[in-house]
Amino acid sequence: MYLAKIHITHKASILDPQGEAIKNALHRLDYQDVSNITAGKYFETTLTSDSKEQAEATTRSICESLLANQNMETFLFTVEKVED
């Protein structure tokens, strides 16, 4: 069994309205030392792939085909072997 940890964040050039809204809310709550915040998605997926290479290939493919909006987002992931 393999465990993939996937981080999906906005591309640097893309406006992050959710992050802006959260920052403004935090400033209204008087958290003045928060200077910037970016909001993204985090997924953990377990895979029954036969090899680490196959688990990595599947993870890359599910990011590209479903989890990440390739126009606006970038993704990073790690894959590690875990006990069944």
Residue 55 in contact with a second copy, rule: CB under 8 A: yes
- The Cα-based distances of 50 to 11, 25, 33, 54, 84 in angstroms read 32, 46, 47, 7, 13
Residue 27 in contact with a second copy, rule: CB under 8 A: no
Residue 63 · residue 40 · CB < 8 Å: no
Q: Which is nearer to a second copy, 15 or 66 (CB)?
A: 66
Which one of residues 13, 42, 71, 83 is an interface residue with a second copy (CB under 8 A)? Answer: 42
Residue 13 in contact with a second copy, rule: CB under 8 A: no
Binding-site size for a second copy (CB under 8 A) equals: 35
Residue 79 in contact with a second copy, rule: CB under 8 A: no
- The Cα-based distances of 30 to 16, 19, 39 in angstroms read 21, 16, 20
